[in-house]
């Protein structure tokens, strides 16, 4: 309901709370005990990106399975932050 649909994070020790958050939050990247500063193509090993789509369907024209596929990145950490 209050998601940016870009990156969301939770800090908790309870594993059930973490798993529920990861499962239920509607965002492109969801973090458990890690910084949202990792939401970057370079950090994910994809190289630099121009932007990050927050839409679930962004293709135009003829579409097949690849264009209809939507990804949700789940990131589990132990308090990591990103250094510049």
pLDDT (average), residues 14-27: 95
Residue 21: domain span? 1-49+69-78
Q: Does residue 83 lie in a domain region?
A: no
> What pLDDT sits at residue 49?
62
pLDDT in tens, 33-47: 999 988 887 787 777
> What pLDDT sits at residue 83?
83
Q: Does residue 58 lie in a domain region?
A: no
Q: Does residue 55 lie in a domain region?
A: no
Q: Does residue 84 lie in a domain region?
A: no
> What is the pLDDT of the chain when averaged over all its residues?
83
In this predicted structure, the answer to whether residue 69 has a pLDDT above a threshold of 90 is no
In this predicted structure, the answer to whether residue 71 has a pLDDT above a threshold of 80 is yes
Are 79 and 34 a contacting pair, CB within 8 Å?
Answer: yes
pLDDT (average), residues 5-17: 94
pLDDT (average), residues 45-63: 67
Give the whole-angstrom CA distance, residue 25 versus residue 74: 10
Q: Does residue 60 lie in a domain region?
A: no
In this predicted structure, the answer to whether residue 59 has a pLDDT above a threshold of 80 is no
Number of domains observed in the structure of the chain: 1
Element (H, E) at 77: strand 73-80
Give the whole-angstrom CA distance, residue 80 versus residue 84: 13
Q: Does residue 57 lie in a domain region?
A: no
């Amino acid at each position: 309901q209050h998601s940016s649909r870009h990156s969301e994070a939770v800090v908790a020790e309870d594993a059930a709370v973490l798993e529920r958050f990861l499962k239920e939050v509607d965002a492109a990247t969801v973090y458990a005990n890690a910084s949202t500063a990792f939401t970057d193509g370079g950090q994910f090993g994809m190289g630099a990106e121009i932007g990050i789509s927050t839409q679930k369907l962004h293709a135009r024209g003829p579409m097949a399975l690849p264009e209809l596929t939507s990804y949700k990145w789940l990131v589990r950490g132990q308090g990591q932050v990103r250094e510049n």
